[in-house]
Amino acid sequence: MTNWGLEKDFLLSSRKNMWNNDYFEFLVKCVWKIDKPVRIIDFGCGYGFLAQMLLPLIPGGSSYKGIDISEELIKDANIQFANCQEVSFELADLNEYVPIEEYDIAICQSVLRHLSNPENILKKMVDSVKENGLVICIEPSRRLENAGIYVDSNAFDPFEHDDFLRQKWTSENKSGGRDYQIGVKIPNHMSKLGLKDVGVRINDYVDYIGTINDKEESAPKEVTRFLKDHNVDDKYPGADGFLAARCHVISYGYK
Ligand SMILES: C[S@@+](CC[C@H](N)C(=O)[O-])C[C@H]1O[C@@H](n2cnc3c(N)ncnc32)[C@H](O)[C@@H]1O
């Protein structure tokens, strides 16, 4: 299992290039219509990225609790939100976590993809919310994610990773390991668990670096960051442009 405390740099870097703030605000205000104080629980909260995104957008009087297995990330989260009484974090393994039906919203981002039992953890999210409560899962499908990557170089082969991905997905699925396609499966899992009005959206963020006219000193650094964040081979650092559509699947439903 990945120790995410050691992947802090990746988490910080990739989250800077993950969402359009206007699209996240649109989800909160126009899709989920969060217009009165809510109690939120964040499964696998990391250093509290979703708290940073959500808190400025939701009504005062709301509260947020994050749960994570990483001591290091929970420590960072506690430092970051030390002055926010409405925010708390708990160090816990979601596999052991016993949900209490007391929240209005249960949310997770990029967590179920890493777990061998995503349906059990999704059930715990459902069990954490009150009647009519909202369950939100933001999870990728590696296939969509890979299809969204383009590097402007003659050497670029968009199908390069397809066989590797197929083998990895098949073998990990068979062995009960993590599921790279979880994002596209969640809506059905939600329906099977009895959630109503299940909806699905796609994160519209596109990570784009155009290098031809970019005289900024930071450009080479950004390219290195892009290659790392999107797991792209570093044989393309001299390409003229880099583009990755995030394509994360946002599934939500009501209890
Ligand atoms: C890719 S990170 C996502 C963190 C955060 N949701 C975000 O989007 O920034 C996955 C997180 O899931 C946490 N995690 C993985 N397995 C867990 C488990 N069994 N119980 C609790 N947290 C877990 C990791 O520690 C890590 O912080």
Domain boundaries, the chain: 4-254
67 CA distance to ligand 1 centroid (A)?
8
pLDDT band at 27 (very low <50, low <70, confident <90, very high): very high
235 CA distance to ligand 1 centroid (A)?
30
Query: pLDDT tens, 199-238?
Result: 999 999 999 998 766 666 667 788 888 888 887 877 777 7
CA 216 to chain centroid, in Å, comes to 30
Question: What mean pLDDT do residues 57-79 have?
Answer: 97
Question: Ligand 1 — pocket residues by CB below 6 A?
Answer: 4, 11, 15, 44-46, 49, 68-70, 73, 93-95, 109-111, 114-115
Q: Choose among 157, 164, 171, 180: nearest CA to 236.
A: 157
The first and second tokens of residue 20, run together, are 């359009």
179 CA distance to ligand 1 centroid (A)?
15
Q: Choose among 71, 76, 85: nearest CA to 48.
A: 76
Q: CATH classification of 4-254, choosing from 1.10.3720.10, 3.40.50.150, 1.20.120.80, 3.40.1710.10?
A: 3.40.50.150
CA angle 74, 75, 77 (to 5 degrees): 60
Question: What mean pLDDT do residues 118-144 have?
Answer: 95
In this prediction, residue 227 carries a pLDDT of 85
